[in-house]
Amino acid sequence: MSRLFAMVYDRVLKASEEACVRSWRAELLGPLTGTVVEVGAGTGLNLDHYGSGVERLVLVEPDRHMRARLAHRLAESPWHGRAELVDATAERLPLDDDAADAVVSTLVLCSVPDQPAALAEIRRVLRPGGTLALLEHVLADHKPRRAAWQHRLTPLWRRVADGCHLDRRTTDALSAAGFDVSGLTRESMRKAAPVVRTTVRGHLTSA
Ligand SMILES: C[S@@+](CC[C@H](N)C(=O)[O-])C[C@H]1O[C@@H](n2cnc3c(N)ncnc32)[C@H](O)[C@@H]1O
């Protein structure tokens, strides 16, 4: 299933990318500087948006089918020969404590098997005062009918969308992990299925 997911991923996201996600990526990633670690880099849709302030880029991706597509996109990007492509999970990053100035997670915390462990690991590798640049779809707890559908559909969705949960309370998990979530923006992902439309994004620091 992960092979099929990797194959269709860019096509499934295309309308939303054009409607809003591409500009969200640019706004999130353009200001990052220093050592940047992207977890769950997928097919590499963030690659175009890193700015000249990034000195070291580490792309972490555990799925081999996604990694193959990422390698292909990387070869055609300005990061070719400079970014590091790593087979690892967000729950276990092969990096020293405080190694990163920024960690990037876009549409990944819905899929990691152990969200608290991934967030603890992200905190471990982020230097004090470092930034977590985040874009995630979340449980629509402000829309009870949508939230009910998210709960109902998650068991099936997880199977077809490679482990993705529709109903995660990611903002609460970020708070519990010690991130200040007060600056997060909640916005609808246009042209997306209603069950993944509720998103949060922003730059977070440790509380
Ligand atoms: C929906 S895709 C998002 C891809 C990309 N970040 C983007 O913004 O388009 C989710 C990605 O998370 C990866 N992933 C799943 N479990 C993971 C884990 N435990 N640690 C890191 N990445 C993981 C998947 O392989 C997939 O590439």
Going residue by residue through the chain, which has 207 residues, state the pLDDT in tens, using 9 for 90 and above: 688 999 999 999 999 999 999 999 999 999 999 999 999 999 999 999 999 999 999 999 999 999 999 999 999 999 999 999 999 999 999 999 999 999 999 999 999 999 999 999 999 999 999 999 999 999 999 999 999 999 999 999 999 999 999 999 999 999 999 999 999 999 999 999 999 999 999 999 976
**What local confidence, expressed as pLDDT, does residue 207 receive?**
66
From 73, 111, 112, mutation site for ligand 1 pocket: most ligand atoms within 8 A of C-beta: 111
Cα torsion 132, 170, 124, 57 to 10°: value is -40
Beta strands in the chain (DSSP E): 34-39, 54-60, 84-86, 100-106, 126-137, 185-188, 198-204
| Ligand 1 pocket, CB under 6 A | 39-42, 45-46, 60-63, 66, 89-91, 106-108, 111-113, 163
Which of 63, 55, 13 minimizes the C-alpha distance to 37? 55
CA 92 to ligand 1 center in whole angstroms? 14
- Per-residue tokens: 188: 């609808």
Task: Flag whether the pTM goes above 0.95.
Answer: yes
- Per-residue tokens: 40: 């769950």
Which of 177, 85, 41 minimizes the C-alpha distance to 122? 177
From 108, 125, 132, mutation site for ligand 1 pocket: most ligand atoms within 8 A of C-beta: 108
If you search the block for the tokens 């098997």, which residue do you land on?
Answer: 113
CA 60 to ligand 1 center in whole angstroms? 9
> Whose alpha carbon is nearest atom 27 of ligand 1?
42
**What local confidence, expressed as pLDDT, does residue 1 receive?**
60
CA 41 to ligand 1 center in whole angstroms? 6
Tell me how far apart the alpha carbons of residues 103 and 110 are, in angstroms, rounded to a whole number: 16
CB 154 within 8 A of CB 166: yes
> Whose alpha carbon is nearest atom 26 of ligand 1?
42
- Per-residue tokens: 136: 């995630």
Q: State the closest ligand 1 atom to the C-alpha of 107, by its place in the atom list counted from 1.
A: 3
Count other C-beta atoms under 10 Å from residue 78's C-beta.
Answer: 12
Q: State the closest ligand 1 atom to the C-alpha of 41, by its place in the atom list counted from 1.
A: 6
